[in-house]
């Protein structure tokens, strides 16, 4: 994946071409009259102009409607010093004495408008405002008089529309400067009685449908203006680095979020067929159907912020086995009263039928239909998702993590005991997300399977299961990893009944389960084989270690030979503060033989680049190391990763993970360890050139050296502290490879005592570069 991502997380607030005109309102909204009716705006059709309800701008009862309010109004007054004088002057003193009424609101929700385009939601066939979390959107508010920044204030109130789940109430304050990752809004333009505000959303906010109310404050009181029926739809945001579904590659975002057509594979491993599937995630009523479905999951909307919880809930709700979900399964030859699973060619009709019937399960489905609908729902909600087909897919029914076939003395199948089965093919989904609930390294693609096969925690659902855990046999990690591991990498074991009634192994097939695991390639109609993501090459030492490691957690933990001794230990050691970016990374692998006998082994090490969320990006280097340990010997093996080997693979935060595995030949003991480390970035060196005195100019030198043999583009330094009221931004342009940059900045301290001066560097290619200096400022 590319580590370069378009700067789209700020949304339309940075654009200068947002329309500055507001649809005109009816006569009542432009000519106030006395009495309550004077503050009730009228409007045209909801699809093109702002709307309101009769009660939307009637003053609230009680003192709040006629006396100044505390809270937001006082916050506005405190921030007024920073507001521009020209904007404040637009409100005449006489106007400031009048009640501030919201006449109309334009959410700029048209499909070809800046909000929908910037948020990648212009494909949704809907006239609603659909935005993605962690990104700004804009709206126009028309008021009864010019807004006075000195005495007036505005606030948004968002409330979720669900009638089933626990309610959410969000207050969005008006601020002078928008900060990252928070609910707040800022006035970016003022024209007569109208203001254009930029609204910032939280990157971890709960997705869903929200009702918007604009609250206006003035010395005369507080008014509420509900924007109904113009609701806000908030989705996950794979374009936002702070969102847990962030995906860095634009081509993959287009494929796994925005592509409404896909390919689903079926057949056998020798005869793979493909069918095109219409996911229809942008069709009319599909988004509403998806949110309706989530409400039926009866999970509090506060939990809708987590893609792990949402995907697990959807895997249960797409089947109807225990919760009246979308689809009823049918694996018989009779489909009377419904539609044959092979007749479906898309998800749109299924979801709309379910939605319009009030939640009546649609007949009928098999695995590819479940997967197609799951893909549609999760893409619609903003989670990157793809359909995956596993050929020769095992169904383990007893948690043995093996596929068990039982035969009698005459070599005939014992049908009532052979409950495990192998499907010609099985289709599930993978969704992309961070997994902060697991150890680092297990984010990324997660198996989500809505086909009802076995219950999980009391409900027919499966996942999200980290694909990387399946590959390594780490079946102790949640969710449902043992079941998925058995589907792709279980051994098929034949058991024969003995005269005493017990069973013994007579044959083992180690490479028949989990073949040619397939998904649609990015940007083309070709099939992509991803078997290597689920398991190591069949028969390799790594693959056998994964199988045996997994079996220890199954219902037959002694199935494979246990090691005769565990007398060799392994650890990875880092000296000092660790490697620096731009240089070679050096670690040590330490093995201790606690036995009085010789031990030999072959170690496999693999180093991977990963995001700070624990999502793995790519393998950088992989090699084998033969080891010979004398009795009671401790051996230290130097390990080096050269700069030229990792320089083109780095991602944000410069994190890497070294995995070492192996097996002791004499005892069959499995050796395994992981070590996470980061490449340390250089500090900014801040040096005051003279003593600091209040009111006297102070010169400070800031030094930075580029540690990379690469040019750093569009470097920006940010300086704050030392009593400054705002951040000082210093554009530096490009910094040549290995070059040193020196800044000479002047400050005038305003407060005596011990102060800190902070500096940080903003650069896409090199992050986490910062520094500070403690400066004692003397009084005059």
The dihedral built from the CA positions of residue 35, 36, 39 and 44, taken in this order, carries a sign that is: negative
Burial of residue 361, with CB atoms counted within 10 A of its CB: 0-12 exposed, 13-18 middle, 19 or more buried: buried
Catalytic residue among 152, 243, 306, 449: 449
pLDDT band at 612 (very low <50, low <70, confident <90, very high): low
426 as an active site residue: the answer is yes
568-678 and 685-778 in the same fold: yes
Residue 163 has what pLDDT? 57
Catalytic residue among 95, 119, 231, 426: 426
The verdict on whether omega for the bond into residue 96 sits within 30 degrees of 0, i.e. cis, is no
Bigger pLDDT: 25 or 371? Answer: 371
Catalytic residue among 227, 367, 380, 387: 367
120 as an active site residue: the answer is no
Residue 85 above 50 pLDDT?
A: no
Bigger pLDDT: 485 or 84? Answer: 485
**Domain-by-domain residue ranges, the chain?**
11-235, 252-551, 568-678, 685-778
Residue 402 above 50 pLDDT?
A: yes
Residue 489 above 80 pLDDT?
A: yes
Rounded alpha-carbon distances, angstroms, from residue 772 to 152, 477, 716, 744: 38, 41, 16, 15
Query: Domain 252-551 class?
Result: alpha beta
Residue 281 above 80 pLDDT?
A: yes
HSE toward the beta carbon, residue 646, CA cutoff 13 A: 31
Residues with Cβ < 8 Å from 332, sequence gap 6 or more?
none
Whole-angstrom distance, CA of residue 75 vs CA of residue 433? 38
Residue 744 has what pLDDT? 95
Pick the CATH number of 568-678 from 3.40.718.10, 3.40.50.1000, 3.40.367.20, 2.60.40.10: 2.60.40.10
What's the rounded mean pLDDT across residues 442-455?
A: 96
Residue 613 has what pLDDT? 57
Tokens in use for 441? 């390294």
Question: How many CB atoms within 10 Å of residue 733?
Answer: 10
Q: Give the pLDDT confidence of 17-56 residue by residue, as tens digits.
A: 333 333 333 333 333 333 333 333 333 333 333 444 433 4
Question: Percentage of the chain with pLDDT > 90?
Answer: 55
Residue 721 has what pLDDT? 80
Q: Are 580 and 682 in contact (CB under 8 A)?
A: yes
Rounded alpha-carbon distances, angstroms, from residue 566 to 265, 513, 556, 572, 628: 45, 31, 21, 18, 16
Least confident segment among 83-92, 101-110, 533-542, 652-661: 83-92
What's the rounded mean pLDDT across residues 365-371?
A: 95
Domain 11-235 has CATH 3.40.50.620: no
Question: How many CB atoms within 10 Å of residue 172?
Answer: 22
Which residue matches tokens 């040549």?
Answer: 736
Q: Give the pLDDT confidence of 173-203 residue by residue, as tens digits.
A: 999 998 877 899 999 999 999 999 999 999 9
Tell me what the pLDDT averaged over the chain comes to.
Answer: 84
Residue 408 has what pLDDT? 82
Q: Calculate Rg over the CA atoms of the chain.
A: 31
Tokens in use for 409? 């003395």
Whole-angstrom distance, CA of residue 555 vs CA of residue 416? 19
Closest listed residue to residue 555, CA positions, set 400, 714, 766:
400
Whole-angstrom distance, CA of residue 206 vs CA of residue 209? 9
Question: Percentage of the chain with pLDDT > 70?
Answer: 85
Closest listed residue to residue 544, CA positions, set 508, 496, 598, 506:
508
Residue 71 has what pLDDT? 38
Residue 90 has what pLDDT? 44
Torsional class of 10: left (φ above 0), alpha (ψ -120 to 50), beta (otherwise)? alpha
Residue 42 has what pLDDT? 35
What's the rounded mean pLDDT across residues 221-239?
A: 93
Q: Give the pLDDT confidence of 257-271 residue by residue, as tens digits.
A: 999 999 999 988 888
Residue 219 has what pLDDT? 93
Whole-angstrom distance, CA of residue 256 vs CA of residue 397? 32
Residue 418 above 60 pLDDT?
A: yes
Residue 252 has what pLDDT? 98
Residue 70 above 50 pLDDT?
A: no
pLDDT band at 245 (very low <50, low <70, confident <90, very high): very high
Number of H helices, E strands in the chain: 15, 40
Residue 63 has what pLDDT? 33
Rounded alpha-carbon distances, angstroms, from residue 513 to 412, 535, 612, 735: 22, 11, 34, 53
pLDDT band at 166 (very low <50, low <70, confident <90, very high): low
Residue 89 has what pLDDT? 41
Residue 632 has what pLDDT? 96
What's the rounded mean pLDDT across residues 95-111?
A: 89
Q: Are 749 and 721 in contact (CB under 8 A)?
A: no
290 as an active site residue: the answer is no
Q: What is the pTM of this model?
A: 0.74
Q: Are 294 and 164 in contact (CB under 8 A)?
A: no
Closest listed residue to residue 573, CA positions, set 679, 655, 439, 675:
675
Whole-angstrom distance, CA of residue 135 vs CA of residue 182? 10
Pick the CATH number of 685-778 from 3.30.465.10, 2.60.40.10, 2.60.120.260, 3.20.20.70: 2.60.40.10
Whole-angstrom distance, CA of residue 530 vs CA of residue 115? 36
Q: Give the pLDDT confidence of 458-476 residue by residue, as tens digits.
A: 999 999 999 999 999 999 9
Residue 396 has what pLDDT? 83
Kindly report the CA angle at 745 between 176 and 79, in degrees rounded to 5?
15
């Amino acid at each position: 994946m590319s580590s370069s991502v378009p700067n789209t997380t700020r949304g339309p607030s940075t654009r200068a071409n947002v329309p500055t005109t507001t649809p005109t309102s009816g006569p009542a909204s432009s000519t106030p009259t006395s009495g309550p009716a004077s503050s009730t705006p009228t409007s045209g059709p909801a699809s093109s102009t702002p709307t309101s309800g009769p009660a939307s701008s009637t003053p609230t009862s009680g003192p709040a409607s006629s006396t100044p309010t505390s809270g937001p109004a006082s916050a506005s007054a405190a921030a007024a010093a920073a507001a521009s004088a020209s904007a404040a002057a637009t409100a005449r003193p006489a106007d400031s004495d009048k009640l501030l009424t919201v006449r109309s609101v334009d959410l700029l929700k048209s499909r070809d408008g800046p909000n929908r385009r910037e948020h990648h939601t212009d494909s949704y066939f809907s006239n609603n405002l659909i935005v993605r979390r962690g990104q700004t959107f804009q709206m126009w508010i028309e008021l009864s008089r010019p807004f006075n920044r000195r005495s007036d204030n505005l606030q948004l109130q968002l409330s979720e529309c669900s009638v089933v789940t626990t309610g959410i109430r969000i207050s969005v304050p008006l601020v002078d400067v928008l900060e990252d990752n928070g609910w707040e809004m800022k006035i970016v333009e003022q024209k007569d009685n109208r203001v254009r505000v930029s609204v910032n959303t939280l990157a971890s906010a709960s997705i869903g449908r929200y009702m918007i109310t604009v609250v206006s404050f003035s010395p005369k009181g507080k008014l509420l203006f509900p924007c109904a029926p113009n609701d806000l739809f908030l989705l996950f945001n794979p374009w936002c680095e702070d969102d847990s579904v962030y995906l860095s590659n634009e081509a993959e975002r287009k494929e796994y979020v925005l592509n409404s057509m896909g390919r689903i594979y079926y057949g056998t491993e020798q005869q793979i067929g493909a069918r095109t599937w219409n996911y229809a995630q942008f069709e009319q009523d599909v988004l509403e159907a998806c949110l309706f479905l989530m409400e039926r999951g009866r999970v509090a909307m506060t939990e809708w912020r987590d893609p792990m919880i949402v995907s697990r809930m959807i895997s249960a709700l797409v089947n109807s086995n225990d919760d009246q979900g979308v689809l009823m399964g049918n694996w018989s030859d009779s489909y009377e009263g419904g539609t044959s699973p092979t007749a479906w060619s898309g998800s749109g009709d299924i979801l709309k039928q379910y939605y319009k019937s009030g939640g009546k399960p649609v007949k009928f489905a098999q695995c590819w239909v479940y997967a197609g609908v799951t893909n549609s729902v999760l893409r619609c909600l903003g989670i990157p998702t793809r359909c995956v087909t596993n050929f020769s897919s095992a169904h383990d029914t007893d948690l043995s993590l093996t596929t068990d076939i039982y035969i009698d003395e005459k070599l005939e199948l014992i049908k009532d005991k052979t409950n495990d089965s192998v499907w010609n093919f099985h289709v599930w989904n993978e969704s992309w997300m961070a997994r902060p609930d697991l150890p680092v390294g297990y984010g990324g693609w997660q198996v989500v399977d809505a086909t009802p096969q076995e219950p999980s925690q009391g409900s027919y659902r499966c996942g999200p299961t980290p694909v990387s855990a399946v590959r390594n046999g780490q079946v102790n990690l949640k969710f449902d990893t043992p079941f998925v591991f058995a589907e792709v990498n279980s051994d098929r074991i034949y058991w024969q009944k003995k005269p005493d009634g017990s069973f013994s192994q007579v044959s083992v097939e180690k490479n028949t389960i989990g073949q040619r695991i397939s998904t649609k390639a990015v940007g083309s109609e070709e099939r992509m084989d991803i078997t290597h993501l689920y398991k190591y090459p069949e028969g390799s030492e790594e693959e056998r270690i994964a199988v045996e490691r997994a079996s220890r957690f199954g219902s037959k933990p002694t199935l494979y030979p246990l090691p005769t001794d565990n007398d060799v230990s392994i650890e990875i050691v880092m000296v000092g503060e660790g490697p620096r970016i731009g240089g070679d990374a050096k670690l040590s692998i330490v093995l201790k033989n606690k036995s009085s006998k010789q031990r030999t082994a072959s170690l496999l090490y693999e180093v991977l680049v990963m995001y700070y969320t624990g999502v793995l990006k790519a393998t950088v280097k992989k090699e084998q190391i033969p080891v010979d340990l004398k009795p009671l010997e401790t051996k230290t093996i130097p390990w080096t990763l050269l700069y030229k080997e990792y320089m083109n693979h780095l991602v944000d935060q410069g994190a890497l993970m070294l995995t070492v595995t192996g097996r002791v030949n004499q005892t069959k003991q499995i050796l395994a360890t992981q070590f996470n480390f980061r490449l340390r970035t250089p500090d900014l060196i801040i040096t005051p050139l003279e003593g600091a005195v209040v009111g006297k100019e102070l010169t400070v030198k800031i030094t930075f050296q580029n540690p990379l043999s690469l040019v750093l583009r569009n470097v920006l330094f940010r300086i704050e502290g030392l009593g400054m009221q705002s951040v000082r931004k210093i554009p530096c342009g490009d910094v040549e490879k290995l070059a040193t940059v020196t800044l000479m900045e002047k400050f005038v301290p305003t407060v005596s005592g011990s102060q800190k001066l902070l500096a940080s560097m903003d650069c896409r290619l090199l992050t986490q570069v910062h520094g500070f200096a403690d400066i004692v400022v003397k009084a005059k």
